[in-house]
Chains A and B, each alone.
Chain A
Amino acid sequence: AQSVSQHNHHVILSEAASLELGCNYSYGGTVNLFWYVQYPGQHLQLLLKYFSGDPLVKGIKGFEAEFIKSKFSFNLRKPSVQWSDTAEYFCAVKSPGVDSNYQLIWGAGTKLIIKP
């Protein structure tokens, strides 16, 4: 079965530290890759996405992610985090399900806490 792995369930960083959250997926075909973020008390929102082209994708709030096809990875990065980045981050892969329904397959999430 297709799966998405996020290696760290909890990450604690100080402000201004650099961030990298790992994401690996198992599906070998054409995929679309997403990072969603859920801030405390808010609902899921899209951070960035990769469909094709440049494997380095830039998203909102200074986040970026790099698609490395040979490693089946889509790691999320930010050079300098802020306290307001405290949130839960989810990696998701869109691959065809039944009758080409493009359901999202999700990682378990990484809770990021930024210490002020």
Chain B
Amino acid sequence: GAGVSQSPSNKVTEKGKDVELRCDPISGHTALYWYRQRLGQGLEFLIYFQGNSAPDKSGLPSDRFSAERTGESVSTLTIQRTQQEDSAVYLCASSFTGARKETQYFGPGTRLLVL
């Protein structure tokens, strides 16, 4: 079946502009995670959605970052007033319920470059 998809695959923007990144999780997966991977570093957790529960936003680095999810489907990550340090690969993952023993499945990522 279809895996996690993300769009766009690459995004180049100017400092100060807003960007919106999209994630389509695997159908039936209620848990959705966003991670950020800076060059040469491991992934950093950003935000987690589980069904209709309030999202866990504990990983968002600043109030310029926000994310929404429509039901148990598409999620968008928005970065307002982008800065050069926002340049990174943004990865989305999904799993069935978010339980401890579940594997998270990753999308291909969106590579963001802020000039």
B58-A97 in contact (CB<8A): yes
* A104 proximity list for chain B (CB < 8 A): 33, 35, 43, 45, 93, 104
In the complex, chain B residues 25-45 whose Cβ is within 8 Å of any chain A Cβ: 33, 35, 40-45
A99-B56 in contact (CB<8A): yes
A51 at the interface (CB under 8 A from B): yes
B42-A109 in contact (CB<8A): yes
Counting chain B residues whose Cβ lies within 8 A of the other chain, the interface size class is: 20 to 34
* B105 proximity list for chain A (CB < 8 A): 46
- Closest beta carbon of chain B to A66's beta carbon, Å: 19
A-binding residues in B (CB < 8 A): 33, 35, 40-45, 48, 50, 56, 58-59, 91, 93, 98-109
| A/B interface sample: 6 pairs, CB < 8 A | A46-B105, A97-B58, A98-B58, A102-B100, A103-B45, A104-B104
